[in-house]
A and B are shown apart, each in its own frame.
Chain A
Amino acid sequence: MASKTDFENHCWADVVSDEDIRTYAPYARETYVGENVGLLVIDLYNLVYKGGAKYPHELEPDFPNSCGIYAHDAIEPTKRLISGCRAANVPIFYVTAQFNPHRVNSTRRVHLPMVAHDCEIHEAFAPEPEDVVFRKERPSAFFGTPLIAHLNQRRIDSLIVCGESTSGCVRASVLEAHMLGKHVSVVEECCFDRSELTHKVNLFDMHHKYADVMHLEEVLDDLKTRVEEKDKIALSA
């Protein structure tokens, strides 16, 4: 949970003008993680880590799909988010790209040939047997997938979202979750894009229109409280 006064205390502060922040003042509110929440991990597949922790423009000739340093910087925070969710028994849903040489592309980029390994989830985030893993071919994790059925089955009313790219599949999925009436918390440090500007402005947009953009520490604190509550109930039982 973050207070109303911290509403604009986010990474976009250096790219959004004071005038624009004033325009959006009426949107300020307390942010929070929903009650019966699930974690949605979007497109953390090998392709976006290729070439190592360099800037995407340096990687472009050989690895045009890599998010380079932005992807690598998010590895540790994302690992912490996932283990925090596991500890709090938050169900985890991984979505990754469908490998198919003839697939419908989820962006309009010119593609280099891909291999199946490119679409597998990065080893740092290997799913556990109790997690749900599914594939998609379009930006939104809901489009043409059974995600909403999974959420309905477990009565999940809200999502924590992490992954990439902020402006692409993260935004598309957050928008659709919002349209379906789900509360969404996007974890700032656990999302990334090829471009820092795009990352920041898309977080800004989502925060004001569709979701609560939250810092990793805020989300982890919330999850920790849930573990403590659970332990208290277990002790008193």
Chain B
Amino acid sequence: MNKACWDDFLTERDKQVFSQGGFGAIAGMGKRPALLIIDVSYNFCGDKREPILESIKRFHNSCGEDAWNSLPHIKSLRDKCHDKGIPVIYTTGIVRDDGWDKGSWAWKSSRTNEDVNNGAPNERDSNRDGNDIMDEIAPGPRDIVIRKLKPSAFFGTPLMAFLNDLGADSLIVTGTTTSGCVRASVLDAFSNNLRCTIVEEACFDRSQASHAVNLCDMHAKYADVVSINEVLPRLEAIDPVYNLPTGSPLK
């Protein structure tokens, strides 16, 4: 990799430690990847492109313009996977109408009650359910959507079973937030011995420093952080046979 996005945040000593400690070796992509799109919903993008400090007035989790900068990249990865028959798995949140299952989220954020939408327009002046996946990358009939309560896409979900059903051995990871659900999911994937390729331009966070340093940590320890320009040709080269959903109702 040329200059990494985290280089500006590291001291000279940090760089030497990573390099001399043998961290950041390239793990490789695996033979049968699946694309994972984590939480790219209105909650995390807002319902229009605007500066983050504007966007979080109505969507307290929004990552603002960085989200909208990532969207076209996520879309091109998604479209490539559709073309190639590579599984596409989305995650997004779910919450009860009374908010009870916010659980530990409510311990750390004073605005989590705003996530409870009751399916009706709320103070956001938006008729979107914040957990809806962005229209720009709306899931197709053969895609898989996993609803989750906690940061990791694996925690309390059938994701590991679905990957086994699909015959997938690795993940291409995109989405948000780099420091939250992306990192938690990558860590669980790593613990499960699944190789992860994180697409740098396709991940975003509300904090620039967290984005950079978390990519740095994950690249050092758990995953390969790779530019989309390298990932797309590698996906093109995959000749997959996956047990994909048919997308049509059973007769």
Contacts and interface: CB of A to CB of B under 8 A. Distances in A.
Interface residues of B, number: 13
Contacts of A148: 160, 192
A181 B193 contact: no
B161 A152 contact: no
Interface string A135-157: 00000000000101110110101
B191 interface: yes
B193 A153 contact: yes
A108 to B, nearest CB: 25
Interface string A11-26: 0000000000000000
Given A149-B193, A152-B194, A180 B161 contact: yes
A194 interface: no
Interface in B147-177: 158, 160-165, 167, 169
A150 B160 contact: no
A181 B166 CA distance: 9
Contact of B160 (A146, A153, A155, A180): A180
A182 interface: yes
Contacts of B194: 152
Contact of A181 (B161, B169, B191, B192): B161
A112 interface: no
A146 B163 CA distance: 17
B248 to A, nearest CB: 22
A179 interface: yes
> A interface, how many residues as a size bin?
10 to 19
A150 B165 CA distance: 17
Contacts of A146: 191
Contacts of A153: 193
A182 B192 contact: no
Contacts of B162: 181
Nearest to A157: B164
A149 B164 CA distance: 12
Given A152-B169, A155-B169, A179 B191 contact: no
Contacts of B163: 181
A175 B146 CA distance: 22
A149 B192 CA distance: 4
Interface string A168-188: 000000000001111000000
A180 B159 CA distance: 9
A147 B191 CA distance: 11
Which of A146, A149, A181, A182: most chain B CB closer than 10 A? A181
The residue in A149, A152, A153, A182 that gathers the most chain B C-beta atoms within 10 A of its C-beta is: A152
A140 B161 CA distance: 16
A146 B169 CA distance: 16
A186 B161 CA distance: 20
Contacts of A152: 169, 192-194
A150 B164 contact: no
A157 B192 CA distance: 14
Given A152-B169, A155-B169, A179 B193 contact: no
Residue of B161, B164, B165, B167 with highest tally of chain A CB at under 10 A: B164
A133 B29 CA distance: 29
A180 B164 contact: yes
A149 B169 contact: no
A179 B169 CA distance: 17
Contact of B161 (A149, A150, A157, A179): A179
Nearest to B194: A152
Nearest to A182: B164
A143 to B, nearest CB: 14
* Minimum-distance CB pairs A-B, first 5: A181-B164, A153-B193, A149-B193, A152-B193, A181-B161
Given A148-B160, A148-B192, A181-B165, 14 more contacts: A149-B192, A149-B193, A150-B193, A152-B169, A152-B192, A152-B193, A153-B193, A157-B164, A179-B158, A180-B160, A180-B161, A181-B162, A181-B163, A181-B164
Interface of A: 146, 148-150, 152-153, 155, 157, 179-182
19 contacts: A146-B191, A148-B160, A148-B192, A149-B192, A152-B169, A152-B192, A152-B193, A153-B193, A155-B169, A157-B167, A179-B158, A179-B161, A180-B160, A180-B164, A181-B161, A181-B162, A181-B163, A181-B164, A182-B164
